[in-house]
Structure 1
C-alpha cells in the first residue's frame, strides 16, 4: 500500500466482502495489523485508532447480517490487559475477542508459550472469548509439531484457569475430582483428568518410588499419608 500509495483493498472493498460472507453464511475475523509487537507499543495511539475502525467495520457487518469476531493485541504488560479487554468490548459492541496471547514480557524467547499463557489466563478472566496458542518457537523459527503441541497445552491451561475463576460450568469440578484422586492415590484417574495425560504419566514413571502409592517428591514422608495416619482413630478409642 505504501509503495503504490493506495488504500488497503480489503478495507476499500469491504462492502463487497460483506456481500460474499453473507452469501456463504461465513464470519469475519477482523485482524489488527497495528497490534503491538513489543511491550513498548502496547495500547499506543495506532493500536487504539485501529480498534475504533474495527468497531466501525463490525457494526457495518452486523447491520448486513454478517457475524464478526475481533482479533486483539499480541504484546501487553499485565497491568494493561484488563483495560484492553474492556476497551475492545466497548468499541466493538461486545463482539467476541480473540487475543494473541497476549505475551506479557519480551525477554523470554524459547518460553513464549509461558509468557502468553500468563497473559491469556488474565485476558480470558477479564472477558476475552478466544485464545490463540503461542509456541516455544515464537520469535525464533517456524514451529514444529512438538512446539504446536506444547503451545496448545499451555493455551488450554490458561483457558481452564480462567474458566475456573469465572465460574464456568464444569470447570472447577475437574479440579475437585483431581483433588479426590490425589487424596485416594488413584493415579489412573489423575492421568485421565490431566490436560496432558501422556506427559503426566511419563513424568511419573521417570522416578517411580518403591511405595507405588506415593510419588518421589516426598516418598515415605507423603503429606497425604501422614494426614491419614493422624486422622485414624486410636485403637480402643471412640
Structure 2
C-alpha cells in the first residue's frame, strides 16, 4: 500500500514538473484573459474569511469591470485595424490622382501644345462688364476676353490659347486676371485654374496632400479633379 502511494505521489510530482517546464517554454502574454480572471477569483474565494464571505454585489462588480476592460481592449484593437485599413484605402485613392488635374486657386494658366486652358472665376455678387486679361511671362497683354454681365456663382471660362490676332501662342504659363464692376466699384475677382497633379502624400491628420506647380494643397481644398 505504501509503495502504491509513493509511486502515485512520484507520478504526480513528475507531472507537475512537466507542466512547469511546458509553461516555462511557452511564450507568455502580458494581457489578462478570462481564464486569468477566474483563477484570481477562485483564489480570492478560497482565502476569504468564512465568517465574512464576499458580498455578491462586489463579485458582480469585479466581473463587470473585467468584462468592460476586456471589451475596451478588443475595441482598441479593432480601431487600430480600421485605421490601418483606412490608411491603405487613402493610399490607393491617392495613387489614382497622379497625372490628373486639380482645380485650385491660382492666378496663372498652364497652356500646352494642343489643349485649351480653362479655369473658374469666383463671382460672389452679380458683376457687370466682366473681362478676363491674359498676359505672358514678360507682362505683355496677349488676350482680352469680354464676358459681359454675370450673376453670382462660379463662372467657368475657356481660353483657346490664341492671342487677340488669332495666333496660337507657345505652350507655357500665362498670368490671368478677372475684373468687373460690382455696384460702383471696379474690382479684381478670385481665380482658380486646373493644375497637373505631380505627386501625392498621405499626411496623417491632414489627409491626402496633392503637389502641383502651385505647391502643396489639401485634397479637401480642391474644388474639382479633372
TM-score scaled by length of structure 1: 0.22
Q: Which has the larger radius of gyration?
A: 2
Which structure has more helix as a fraction of its residues?
Answer: 1
- Using CA pairs under 8 Å that are at least 6 residues apart, name the structure with larger relative contact order, 1 or 2: 2
Which structure has more strand as a fraction of its residues?
Answer: 2
